Amino acid sequence: MFPQASKRIWQFAKQFGVYTVLAAALCASPARSEDTVEQRLDALQARLEQVEADKKALAERLESITAARETAPDRTLADHGSQLHALQDSIREFREKAAAKKYPNITINGVFQADSVWVHQDADSLNEFGRIEDGAGFRRARLSARGSVTEHTNYFFQTDVGTAGVGRPTITDVWVEEMDVPYLGNVRVGQWKQPFSLEVVSSFRYTTFFERSSMFQAFTPFRRVGIGFYDHSNDLSMTWAASAFHSGQDQYGGTYTNDQGYGTAERVTVLPYWESDGQQYLHLGAGHFFNAPVNKTVNFRSLPEIFVGAQENGPVGSSGQAVPGALHGVPFFVATGNLSVNSYNVLGGELLWVEGPLSIQSETMVTFVDQTGGNPVGVLAGTYAQIGYFLTGEHRPYDRKSGAIDRVIPHHNMKFCGDNGNGSGWGAWEVAARFSYLDLNSENIRGGTLTDYTLGVNWFLNPYLKVVFNWVHAMPDSASFPKSQTDFFGMRTQVDF
């Protein structure tokens, strides 16, 4: 554009110069007739030279303007480029600062389970347990805080006001741990779920049914105050953990005794098979739990894999408001009563096989009870086997660092209508069934047996919200009562964040 304009201006200048010279010559002739020809030529020559000088100056001016206009965009782009780089550097610096962890830090989490349970009993069940009422309530209602105080020091604190604890409120987990300890991996001190059993170390948030199996309450250490360590192999195909702890506790984790009350737990897991980014795998585990119970007394007992209850009103003060009293609810279906023992050892085996939407899970435990008073060693045992299938194609995830079950992620979250061109979704649907058996009879120990059959449907609306439907058919059999049958129908809504 600029070269073309310059050319036109140049042509105009040339024509202007010629016309100026001719006009000057014509105008000068009649006015200065007395001048000589030589004088006229000199004047004409001077005018031509002036025109040439003006023309040259005009040409230089045009060239400078053209050059300035042609280089101006380059300088503007260069300025914009430098400004853009400066902005990118500022954004990168901001992101790095935002991503960098600050210590101490904290993350707040919570979960609640709202349950409704309906009960049907046969005559023998009514005779043995009395009327078990229908009910509704919060099985768990927990708030927790977790975080780090340094790059290698983590903490966790959690309380529960639901009915799952040994009291309301209950301290469930309070611990601090140091990571990357030579030879040990991670060392933890406080109260937490001790390393024994796949069901124990896996969060209740991710379990398939309302409750863990009948062996859970009878044979596992669960949460205790102690010290332990845990770690995993570099290729995540193996985990190991061990701990030592006080084995008696109140609802706040306290133990107060000079008569025993200590235990240990150990667990090892392997993953011989891991394919398709965890959609196909085989978990195998083994564990051991030793307990020298407080005051040398233990009562092996278990619920029928479901619970609902409520607290009665306690004493009433001058305000007219009653404090919470005793908790009433689904009773223990089998129990040995208090046994006098020196100690007992529990051996456990674990299996979890996942093949796409299909999962098969099983555990077996055998307990060797060293009784006092010359009584023989009792051998109590239990097992469960369960199968689950995702109708919508998901799979049951697995945490390879802890050897535990992980959170289900639906392919499509529940939504009633599409957005941004996406269709509606129905979440993830799983159907499941479980058989469990607990035998608390051995030698002079007569705790009875409990056989449970459970059918379940799980609806995961999204990774953090699920609805659970369970039917539990429980058949306890004891020496004091004939074998009875009780059916529980339960519905649960669970959300965690």
Query: According to the 3-state scheme, what is the secondary structure of the chain?
Result: CHHHHHHHHHHHHHHHHHHHHHHHHHHHHHHCCCCCHHHHHHHHHHHHHHHHHHHHHHHHHHHHHHHHHHHHHHHHHHHHHHHHHHHHHHHHHHHHHHHCCCCCCCEEEEEEEEEEEEEEECHHHHHHHCCCCCEEEEEEEEEEEEEEEECCEEEEEEEECCCCCCCCCEEEEEEEEEEEECCCEEEEEEEEECCCCHHHHCCHHHCCCCCCCCHHHHHCCCEEEEEEEEEECCCCCEEEEEEEEECCCCCCCCCCCCCCCEEEEEEEEEEEEEEHHHCEEEEEEEEEEEEECHHHEECCEECCCCCCEEEEEEEECCCCCEEEEEEEECCCCEECCCEEEEEEEEEEEEEEEEECCEEEEEEEEEEEEEECCCCCCEEEEEEEEEEEEECCCCCCCEECCCCEECCCCCCCCCECCCCCCCCCECCEEEEEEEEEEEEEEECCEEEEEEEEEEEEEEEEEECCEEEEEEEEEEEEECCCCCCCCEEEEEEEEEEEC
**291 forms bridges with which residues in the sheet?**
263, 344
Most confident of the following: 8-17, 63-72, 335-344 = 335-344
- pLDDT, one tens digit per residue, over 271-309 is 999 999 999 999 999 999 999 999 999 999 999 999 999
- pLDDT, one tens digit per residue, over 232-285 is 999 999 999 999 999 876 666 677 777 788 999 999 999 999 999 999 999 999
Instruction: Please say whether the beta carbons of 312 and 328 come within 8 A.
Output: yes
Rounded CA-CA distance 294/292 in Å is: 7
Instruction: Say if residue 40's pLDDT is above 90.
Output: no
Instruction: Say if residue 388's pLDDT is above 60.
Output: yes
Most confident of the following: 57-61, 98-102, 199-203, 412-416 = 199-203
Sequence-ordered list of residues with C-beta below 8 angstroms from that of 169, at least 6 positions apart, any chain: 159, 160, 161, 251
Task: Tell me what pLDDT residue 5 has.
Answer: 45
Tell me the torsion sign for CA atoms 194, 199, 205, 211: negative
Task: Tell me what pLDDT residue 323 has.
Answer: 78
Average pLDDT along the chain: 87
Give the Å distances, CA to CA, from 276 to 281, 328, 360, 361, 391.
9, 48, 18, 19, 19
Query: Which of the two residues, 98 and 137, has the higher pLDDT score?
Result: 137
Confidence bin at 21 (pLDDT 50/70/90): very low
Least confident segment among 1-15, 331-345, 383-397: 1-15
Confidence bin at 311 (pLDDT 50/70/90): confident
Least confident segment among 22-31, 299-308, 472-481: 22-31
Q: What's the average model confidence in pLDDT over 67-76? A: 57
* Torsions phi, psi for 372 (to 5 deg): -90, 180
Instruction: Say if residue 367's pLDDT is above 90.
Output: yes
Q: What's the average model confidence in pLDDT over 398-414? A: 97
Task: Tell me what pLDDT residue 23 has.
Answer: 40
Task: Tell me what pLDDT residue 332 has.
Answer: 96
Rounded CA-CA distance 474/488 in Å is: 8
Neighbours of 225 (CB within 10 A): 19
* Torsions phi, psi for 74 (to 5 deg): -65, -45
Instruction: Say if residue 363's pLDDT is above 80.
Output: yes
- pLDDT, one tens digit per residue, over 140-184 is 999 999 999 999 999 999 999 988 766 678 889 999 999 999 999
Instruction: Say if residue 1's pLDDT is above 60.
Output: no
Confidence bin at 64 (pLDDT 50/70/90): confident
Query: Which of the two residues, 73 and 399, has the higher pLDDT score?
Result: 399
Most confident of the following: 13-27, 35-49, 83-97, 392-406 = 392-406
| Tokens 């005794």 sit on residue | 257
% of the chain exceeding 90 in pLDDT: 68
The separation between CA 8 and the C-alpha centre of its own chain, rounded to angstroms, equals 74
Task: Tell me what pLDDT residue 421 has.
Answer: 53
Task: Tell me what pLDDT residue 2 has.
Answer: 41
Residue (of 472, 424, 205, 444) closest to 337 by Cα position: 444
For residue 225 the two structure tokens come to: 């105050």
CATH 2.40.160.10 fits 108-496, yes or no: yes
